[in-house]
Every structure is written in structure tokens, then in C-alpha cells.
Amino acid sequence: MTEVPSRFISQGKAVSIPPRQRLVDEAYEAIKQMIITNELKSGQVISVAALADHLGVSRSPVTKAFTALEQDGFVESEPFRAPRVTPLTPKFIRDVYGVRTALEAQAAVDATLNLTTVELAELTDEFSALSESGDRDKSAIFDFDVKVHRLFAKRAENDLLRGFLDHLELHLVRIRNVYGEHIYSQSEIEIQFEELGRIVAATKDRDGDAVEQAMKEHVARHAERLIAKVEEAGNG
């Protein structure tokens, strides 16, 4: 919803987006944020009329926003039924992480070739500092994990790949908002730290095959731990 449709392009320059389209875009962003932050719950049936009233708009932009939200995987609909928030089922999470595994692995391979010597040194030094401290602080390790993924996405130097990863990140944030506090136990943080160590080591050696394998295992294992927690919660 952030790109300007081709019909709004004239002689290579973007022109003003009609007010109606802006309402659709604003409704899309507002509803998406409500889903990502879990204000609208997983599997919740949504009343178009009630949501339109809540947003202070007519039903039309909300209905059109739902079409885009369905395409982006945030809502689902069936004929003659009200739309609902896409449920965070094990299958949905497995689908998200299946795509993420492939994309993150490719980003890691490409970034390994593109990272500068300075960037590599900063990455390895930060990991070494975490390792030597002996303090497996959840937030510090999680922040480092996020930093690694974002660094790889940036230094892969592939705008299309980065765009797909940015889109997936929205689903990952939503999943973390619902289940995050239940999946980052101390023992799992230890496993996560070991996985990150293998990724950093392979990156330092500029070993594309090794970093690809390490990243695939890291993302896939996280997915399986998450799915196990979802199933334990009775959402299978």
C-alpha cells in the first residue's frame, strides 16, 4: 500500500493521490497496526461497520483495505461471511517461517560476500563481548539477533529481497507480540546464542555454504520452538 499506483504517475512524476485512495491507505495502515499489536486478536471476526465507525470513515475504504490486507496475509474472508484476522495457527507460522528461512539464508550468503572488513570486525567483536561477559541476558541476545538479521538484509544489496523480508517482519512482530514472552525461556536463549555463534563464525570466514546452513538451522529451529508453544497453548 506504500507504492504509488501506475495510474497516478504522469510523465515520470507522481501526482496527488485522490482523497478516496488516501482514506483506503490510512484505513489499511490503521487496521494492520491493530492486528500487529494484537488489538485485533488472532481469528477475531471483524465487523466492517463497527471498524469503520471506530476509524471515523465510511465502510467503503475499510472494505477496500480488507482486500489489500487479505492479499498481505493479515485477514482472511469467505463468501457471505465477515472477514476475520488470520489465525496464528501452526500452519500459518510454518508457512511464514518457511519463506523466511529461504530469504534469510540467501541474504546471509549475499551479505557475507559484501560485508566490509570493518563491518565484520564490529560484528565479531560484539559477539565476543557478549560471549566473554558470560551473562546470557535475554534482551541483549535478542537485540544482537535482530541486528544480525537486519545487517544481512541491508548488506545483501538486493532491494527486492529486502522488501520481502520487511514484509515478513510485520508478521514476525505480530507473532512475537502474541507469543514472544512464552518462547524466550533462558534455555532457549542459550540455544539461540549458540546458533548465532555459528552464523558469526561462518560470516567471519566468508564461508557462504556454512553461513547458509547455519542461518537455515537458526530460523527453522526457532520456528519449531514457536510452533510447539502454540500447540501447547491449544491453538493447533
Query: Taking the domains of the chain in order of start, what are their residue ranges?
Result: 6-85, 90-232
Average pLDDT, the chain: 88
The reply to whether the predicted model has a pTM over 0.75 is: yes
* Grid cell for residue 152: 544481512
Answer with the residue of higher pLDDT: 18 or 162: 162
Q: Do domains 6-85 and 90-232 have the same CATH topology?
A: no
Provide the pLDDT for residue 139. Answer: 83
Q: How many Å apart are CA 105 and CA 193, to the nearest integer?
A: 18
Residues in the chain: 236
3 state DSSP class of 82: coil
3 state DSSP class of 76: strand
Q: How many Å apart are CA 1 and CA 208, to the nearest integer?
A: 35
Q: How many Å apart are CA 207 and CA 201, to the nearest integer?
A: 9
pLDDT of 17 higher than 50: no
For 137-153, what is the mean pLDDT? 91
pLDDT of 208 higher than 90: yes
Local structure of residue 21 (DSSP, 8 states): H
- CATH superfamily name and code, 90-232: GntR ligand-binding domain-like (1.20.120.530)
CB 69 within 8 A of CB 28: yes
pLDDT of 18 higher than 80: no
Q: How many Å apart are CA 182 and CA 229, to the nearest integer?
A: 7
CB 17 within 8 A of CB 8: yes
pLDDT of 53 higher than 90: yes
Q: How many CB atoms lie within 10 A of CB 84?
A: 17
pLDDT of 61 higher than 60: yes
Least confident range from 26-40, 60-74, 89-103, 174-188: namely 174-188
pLDDT of 4 higher than 70: no
pLDDT tens digits for range 170-206 = 999 999 898 876 566 777 888 889 999 999 999 999 9
Class of domain 6-85: mainly alpha
Provide the pLDDT for residue 88. Answer: 94
pLDDT of 134 higher than 80: no
pLDDT of 111 higher than 80: yes
